[in-house]
């Protein structure tokens, strides 16, 4: 993470960037972003909407005078969130996955937070003026529509899929592409499966709630036997409540640690894929130009050769930036996953311990009630 340039444009500390609040006005979500100024103890707070984030991302894509820009693995921006109405809940889940869950957009905000932190710690992107403005200007970027980057979603087109499998000239990159293909697919699948688990856990919590309520309704005081039976039902109702809360906690733990982590990993793999694809496209362009140059008629040859050289230079810049990016990415993702896995395990362990104790208490109390 050493920056080659002496001047950093970013005036706030990357680690201090937080999304502290989110408000909803109709369809529009507004995020409160706070950060700490680098050279003073002053804090900054700005308000941004998703459009602003999108503008920022586009600004990254369309930077000028950044050599090998296409070799950068751009931090992935989550998709736009649509405030939940019942008809679009399934749609939101499909689009956002884990980020759609959780109360009050917690996971979504966390994801946006990561995005900003990743950008702010990126050796090149942190120098982007747009980022500083985004984080510190009280005025939002407004409706500025900068040049639309050409980098988004290139991999969607069918034609592009053919290009994706184009053989590489460099072993390092060929390996990386293969690995990335596998990891992208695996992490996406794992994220989806974990999401299914969390959804089922939430359904179970609901079912426990219903059961607990039904038990509560069994209370009646008609005679001694009815009173005794009611006592048992009430106790069981309490126990099932505890089971319900446990499921809610387990689901929430899954969501806020491993879920978030896998989601991030999955989206980052996609971002790497896009970068590798851009490079591959450049490679194809280069090979095409080479072929044309070979076939070119002598009077055009010099022009073609000059052009070829330019493309070669671009390609090699992209490749060298890409290599650095890949190494950086590999190191950081392991750390990120590690901290998520530890967090997940520790939270689930704590929850399990609390729960075991609670159940034991219930068991003791119940046995004591009837020991006479």
The residues in 157-186 that bind another protein, with binding defined as CB under 8 A, are: 179, 182-183, 186
- Residue 56 contacts by C-beta under 8 Å, 6 or more apart in sequence? 119, 130, 131, 134, 141
| Residue 325 binds another protein (CB under 8 A) | no
Residue of the chain from 90, 196, 294, 316 that contacts another protein (CB under 8 A): 196
User: Which CB, 8 or 348, lies closer to another protein?
Assistant: 348
Residues near 93 by Cβ (< 8 Å), separated by ≥ 6? 100, 101, 195
Q: What is the smallest separation between the CB atom of 186 and another protein, expressed in angstroms?
A: 4
Per-residue contact track with another protein, 4 to 23, x per CB under 8 A? --------------------
Per CB under 8 A, 245 contacts another protein: no
* Closer Cβ to another protein, 152 or 230, answer by number: 230
* Interatomic CA distance for residues 187 and 178, integer angstroms: 14
Pure H helices in the chain: 50-61, 89-96, 106-121, 129-136, 158-164, 171-216, 224-254, 260-295, 298-369
Q: Is residue 189 near another protein by the rule CB under 8 A?
A: yes
Residue 363 in contact with another protein, rule: CB under 8 A? yes
Tokens representing residue 7 in the block: 């001047």
- Residue 353 touches another protein, criterion: CB under 8 A: yes
**Out of 214, 288, 292, 316, the residue judged to bind another protein by CB under 8 A:** 214
Query: Using H for helix, E for strand and C for coil, what is the string for 192-220?
Result: HHHHHHHHHHHHHHHHHHHHHHHHHCCCC
Q: How many CB atoms lie within 10 A of CB 310?
A: 11
Query: Is 286 one of the binding residues for another protein (CB under 8 A)?
Result: no
Q: What is the DSSP letter of 265?
A: H
Give the C-alpha distances (Å, rounded to integers) separating 82 from 20, 24, 26, 153, 340: 19, 10, 10, 20, 27
Which of 9, 228, 284, 306 is the binder for another protein (CB under 8 A)?
Answer: 228
119: nearest Cα among 63, 184, 170: 63
- Binding another protein by CB under 8 A: which of 6, 42, 158, 217? 217
Binding residues vs another protein (CB under 8 A): 179, 182-183, 186-187, 189-190, 192-194, 196-197, 200-201, 203-204, 207-208, 210-211, 214-215, 217-218, 220, 222, 225-226, 228-229, 232-233, 235-236, 239, 243, 330, 334, 337-338, 341-342, 344-346, 348-349, 352-353, 355-356, 359-360, 362-363, 366-367, 370
């Amino acid at each position: 993470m050493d920056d080659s340039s002496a001047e950093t444009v970013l005036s706030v500390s990357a680690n201090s960037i937080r999304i502290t609040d989110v408000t909803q006005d109709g369809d529009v979500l507004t995020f409160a972003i706070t950060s700490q100024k680098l050279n003073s103890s002053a804090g900054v707070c700005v308000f941004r909407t998703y459009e602003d984030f999108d503008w920022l991302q586009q600004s990254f894509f369309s930077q000028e005078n950044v050599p090998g820009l296409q070799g950068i693995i751009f931090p992935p921006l989550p998709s736009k969130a649509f405030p939940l109405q019942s008809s679009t809940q399934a749609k939101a889940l499909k689009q956002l996955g884990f980020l759609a869950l959780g109360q009050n957009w917690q996971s979504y905000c966390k994801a946006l937070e990561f995005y900003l932190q990743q950008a702010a710690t990126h050796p090149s992107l942190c120098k982007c003026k747009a980022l500083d403005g985004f984080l510190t200007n009280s005025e939002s970027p407004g409706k500025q529509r900068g040049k639309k980057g050409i980098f988004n979603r290139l991999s969607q087109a069918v034609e592009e899929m053919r290009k994706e499998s184009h053989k590489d000239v460099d072993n390092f990159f060929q390996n990386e592409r293969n690995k990335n293909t596998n990891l992208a697919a695996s992490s996406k699948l794992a994220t989806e499966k974990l999401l299914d688990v969390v959804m089922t856990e939430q359904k179970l919590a609901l079912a426990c709630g219903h059961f607990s309520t039904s038990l509560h309704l069994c209370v009646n005081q008609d005679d001694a036997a009815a009173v005794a039976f009611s006592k048992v039902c009430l106790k069981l109702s309490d126990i099932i409540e505890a089971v319900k809360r446990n499921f809610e906690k387990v689901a929430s733990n899954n969501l806020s640690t491993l879920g978030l982590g896998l989601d991030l990993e999955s989206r980052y793999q996609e971002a790497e894929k896009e970068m590798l694809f851009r490079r591959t496209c450049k490679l194809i362009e280069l090979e095409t130009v080479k072929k044309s140059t070979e076939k070119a008629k002598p009077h055009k040859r010099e022009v073609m050769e000059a052009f070829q050289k330019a493309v070669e230079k671009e390609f090699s810049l992209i490749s060298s930036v890409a290599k650095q990016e890949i190494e950086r990415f590999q190191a950081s993702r392991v750390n990120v996953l590690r901290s998520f896995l530890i967090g997940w395990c520790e939270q689930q362990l704590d929850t399990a311990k609390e729960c075991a104790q609670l159940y034991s208490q219930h068991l003791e109390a119940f046995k004591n009630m009837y020991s006479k």
